[in-house]
Structure 1
Amino acid sequence: MTQITYEIVEHDGGWAYRVGETFSETFPTHAAALSAAKAAAEAQEQRGDTEGVVYEDRNAVWHAEIAPGDDRPTTQVRDAG
């Protein structure tokens, strides 16, 4: 099973959460970023419908896959602040 970590960080004059190298929007407070990260992490673990997914990877290559609705990652929120 995949493990995804949401990390609370200072970003662009405020606070954000980061997953890998991708940042969320910037929030004005640490508490707002933490709340948003917890909500996003919880939503990502929720089962859904099996659907087709199209995405572009970091090498600008497009992929089409089937995402099973019950194949969800486990998540955690890491807050060093």
Structure 2
Amino acid sequence: MTEVTYVIVEHDGGWAYKVGAVFSEPYATHALATAAAKRAAAEQRVPGRTEVIAYEDEKGQWHEETASGSDRPNTHIIDKA
């Protein structure tokens, strides 16, 4: 199963959470950044609808797949403060 980690860090004169190399918007306090990371992490775990998706690959071939709405990642929050 996929893992998504939210890291609470000081950023841009305030606090933010970071996933990989991408930062959230800055928050004025550590508590606000932590709360935002918790909300984002919870939203990642919410199942969606199973959908059929179509896409074109780099060779111009079209493919159709079923994307399961229940295939959600595990999420973690790490506080670097």
For Structure 1 versus Structure 2, the TM-score category normalised by the shorter chain is 0.7 to 0.9
Alpha-carbon RMSD across the aligned residues, in angstroms, is 2.0
> For structure 1, which runs of at least 5 residues remain unmatched after alignment?
55-64
Give matches, 1:1-80, under 5 Å: 1-51=1-51, 52=53, 67-80=67-80
The CA distance in 2 between the partners of 1:16 and 1:75, in whole Å, is: 17
Aligned equivalents of 2:20, 2:40: Cα separation in 1? 14
TM-score under structure 2 length normalisation: 0.78
Q: Could you tell me how far 1:67 is from its partner in structure 2?
A: 3.6
The verdict on how the C-alpha distance between 1:79 and 1:49 changes in structure 2, with shifts beyond 3 A counting, is same
Q: TM (normalized to structure 1)?
A: 0.78
Which ranges in structure 2 are unaligned for 5 or more consecutive residues? Answer: 56-64
Q: Matched residues in 1 for 2:4 and 2:76: separation?
A: 6
Query: Which contiguous aligned blocks of 4+ residues in structure 1 show a shift greater than 6 angstroms?
Result: none
Larger-Rg structure:
2
